[in-house]
Chains A and B, each alone.
Chain A
Amino acid sequence: MTELGLTHFLILSAFLFACGLLCIATKRNAVGILMGVELVLNAANINFVAFTRYLPGFRIEGQVFAVLVIVLAAAEAAVALAIILNFYNNRGTVDVDQANDLKG
């Protein structure tokens, strides 16, 4: 059993990111997509924190950025939920495939 290193965190982060991306790409439910987005953001957060912990050049920047991203994610969730709510009011569904007004 080896010591936990930077690589492990990065692998976790990549796994989370892939999960998030997959979730966004495959879900038809808008709320599900929003969850995928959260996963992607948190994958980034893990990266930030891990780099600060293991690389000597950083002190607290990663943590600061992680907090920033969390705030950003909260704001984004608020906006996205508002959009979804409106969309539901208009279409009676949260299926993103129905949102094809911009189709060329």
Chain B
Amino acid sequence: MPEFLREVPGRLFLVATLLPLFAFAVLLAAGTVRRFRSPLPGYFASFLLAVAASCSVIGLSWFLQDAESLRDQSKAMAARWGERVEWLHLGGWKADARPARSIDLGYRIDHLTALMVTMVTVVGTLIFLFSLGYMKDEQAEVEDHHAHVRRRGRFGRFYLYLSLFAFSMLNILIADNLFQIFVGWELVGVSSFFLIGFYTERRSASTAANKAFIVNRVGDAGLLVALAVAWFHVGSFNLDELFAKAAHLPADAILLLGLGIFCGCAGKSAQVPLHTWLPDAMEGPTPVSALIHAATMVAAGVYLVGRCWVLFTPDVLLVIAYLGAATMILSALVAVVQTDIKRVLAYSTCSQLGFMMLALGLGAWTAALLHLLTHAFFKALLFLGAGSVIHGLHHEQDLSKMGGLRRKMPVTAYTMFVGVLAIAGMPLLSGWYSKELILSHVIGSAAADGVARPLLTFLPFLTAGLTSYYMFRLWFLAFAGEPRDRHLFEHAHESPAVMTLPLLVLAAFSVGVAWGWPVWSVESSQLAKVLHHAQPPVLDVKYHAIHGKAEEHHLLTTALALGVAAFGFAVAIARHRAGTLLTPPRPAVLAQVLRKKFYFDELYAAAFTQPTVELAKLSAAADKRPDVRPFNLRSLDGVLNAIADSLVALGTVVRRLQTGQLRTYILALGLTLAAGLGILLRLSR
């Protein structure tokens, strides 16, 4: 092991972060070479990310060892697993009495970061590999049937964006200060923008990219406010300093700080009311949806809420919980009627993110972040499965045209079934552990808190049932029964090994990532135990009572959770047998509301987009050249022209005075003199 790693093994994670940046830089330079068509960029970027993944796996195990052996020496731990350099030095001049401040760049590894970095790099590597197959068409010239254009392939550019994304995401994760997180936050946003709008020729794709970017800006404005509050009141962006001084901040400052951070997280993690961009983001290539809009980027919001948990006051936590609950239930309901395979998954992602936010709001820190990790694996699996289906069906995404595909693409079908089981909460699969932990915390908090919050208790169970229903519905529609489109079915084929292999690996992760011994006990999940080390110590004290109650009602929770999941499954299978999975729910009004996604898009269009467009049109009209001469006061040019024209008119009148005749001047002079004298005489009388 090189010397520079032995002293500070945290640099392993730094290397893991910088490798994708290196890939990005190289691909950017290589992109200037025209007609660079080969799978090479893909191999290169995937290889570097695989190296990064190995680095972070090694780093993770090293970190766990270290955490064990240096248990009580937090200083030594901090020195070994974190570094800082001053990036910007402000103040401290002679005349300035205020203390000098600095903005640092740095990283700090704890259990959460180590796990998250490992998850992102591992899932990322698998998705990079998958994309080698999925994006193969981009290596040659592409005929885009949606946009009716022929264009050059963009294989290299795809990996360029993906690498940029991987770097920014890892940067968010390892950063030890809000400033660096914000930089990563924006970079993630911009790479997401590039990737959603990857098929730029398609109008829907570019619109979706704009929408995602703009909606995220709304959230980022909140994060910026939080940054300002932190800088003003604490004078530092460093997270540890912030946490230490949080208790001494004025009440309104800490409230604003918390709400600002959550606002940013709500934008990134697609929480109501900023969730509308995520389903539209499915316009991007499917591996992008899997990596960015399911497993990692949208998880950044949940991660940051978890990371900054101690900065949230109880009020803010309640806001988080309620918005999470709203997102969870609304998205789950919409997912029930979607017929686009990717959109079902998109709404499912929204719903699961809401579930995590709810858990964080209720203080189920470990459970929420455990769900974040397990969800990343099985949602990546589901999305890649969907990608495999879309690839096998020559870019058909409509569930109503599928059916019976398990005979044509068995690997995809059965790995996806594992994913469906995991997300539905089948016991012993990874999703079960995290879901169970969250639900038991929900029950526990309902039992322990004096305040009754029926919505927060009831909705998670309802959502669990709905999740189970719509996921099985998706699977049945795609893979079971008889094919509904013969032509499509006959041309369907299983994807190549480079695509099915990541599916198998992810399926294995989805099954076993949360296992511990004994396997049947939720509490013994190894991943949860590791995560628990990173949990802010306040939480243990604060939620002690809840944990007790949760233990008490453990059996009830399990029974309820399994019951609703089984009920969802039963409804799905009954409707599958009856062949009514595609019939819209009754009454018709409900179906309409669900199909319109609760009218969020229409509402925003009416409230924000339309007025903006109208204003723009007005301004444009005001700036147009006026058709009417001489005077048109309804436009800017018209007003300016009116001023100019009246000055010209005045000039034509006044210039007649300049006759050039000496005599007229003298006459004027004499008359003026006489008049002046007359006035003087009058005045002096």
On A, residues with C-beta under 8 Å from B are 21, 24-26, 33, 96-97, 99-104
15 contacts between A and B (CB under 8 A): A21-B666, A21-B670, A25-B663, A25-B667, A25-B670, A26-B663, A96-B661, A96-B663, A97-B661, A100-B661, A101-B660, A102-B658, A104-B656, A104-B658, A104-B659
CA A34 – CA B385 in complex, angstroms? 107
Give B641-677 as 1s and 0s: 1 = Cβ < 8 Å from A's Cβ atoms.
0000000000000111111111100110010000000
Q: Is there contact, CB below 8 Å, between A33 and B660?
A: no
Chain A contacts of B661 at CB under 8 A?
A: 96-97, 100
Q: Is there contact, CB below 8 Å, between B662 and A96?
A: yes
- Residues of B in contact (CB 8 Å), total 13
CA A55 – CA B175 in complex, angstroms? 97
Q: Is there contact, CB below 8 Å, between A103 and B670?
A: no
B659 vs chain A, min Cβ distance (A): 6
On B, residues with C-beta under 8 Å from A are 654-663, 666-667, 670
Chain A contacts of B663 at CB under 8 A?
A: 25-26, 96-97
Q: Is there contact, CB below 8 Å, between B660 and A99?
A: yes
Chain A contacts of B666 at CB under 8 A?
A: 21, 24-25
Nearest CB to that of B655 among chain A residues?
A104
A37 vs chain B, min Cβ distance (A): 10
Chain B contacts of A96 at CB under 8 A?
A: 661-663
Q: Is there contact, CB below 8 Å, between B660 and A102?
A: yes
Nearest CB to that of A103 among chain B residues?
B660
CA A100 – CA B666 in complex, angstroms? 15
Chain B contacts of A101 at CB under 8 A?
A: 660
CA A104 – CA B651 in complex, angstroms? 10
CA A99 – CA B670 in complex, angstroms? 21
Q: Is there contact, CB below 8 Å, between A103 and B662?
A: no
CA A21 – CA B663 in complex, angstroms? 10
Nearest CB to that of A28 among chain B residues?
B663
A9 vs chain B, min Cβ distance (A): 19
Q: Is there contact, CB below 8 Å, between A100 and B660?
A: yes
Nearest CB to that of B667 among chain A residues?
A25
B648 vs chain A, min Cβ distance (A): 13
CA A101 – CA B661 in complex, angstroms? 10
Nearest CB to that of A27 among chain B residues?
B663
Residue from A21, A26, A100 in contact with B659 in the complex, judged by beta carbons closer than 8 Å: A100
Chain B contacts of A33 at CB under 8 A?
A: 662
Chain B contacts of A21 at CB under 8 A?
A: 666, 670
Chain B contacts of A102 at CB under 8 A?
A: 658, 660
Chain A contacts of B670 at CB under 8 A?
A: 21, 25
Nearest CB to that of B654 among chain A residues?
A104
Chain B contacts of A26 at CB under 8 A?
A: 663
Chain A contacts of B667 at CB under 8 A?
A: 25
CA A77 – CA B667 in complex, angstroms? 22
Q: Which 8 pairs between the two chains have the least Cβ-Cβ distance?
A: A104-B658, A100-B660, A103-B660, A104-B655, A25-B666, A96-B662, A24-B666, A102-B660
CA A24 – CA B655 in complex, angstroms? 23
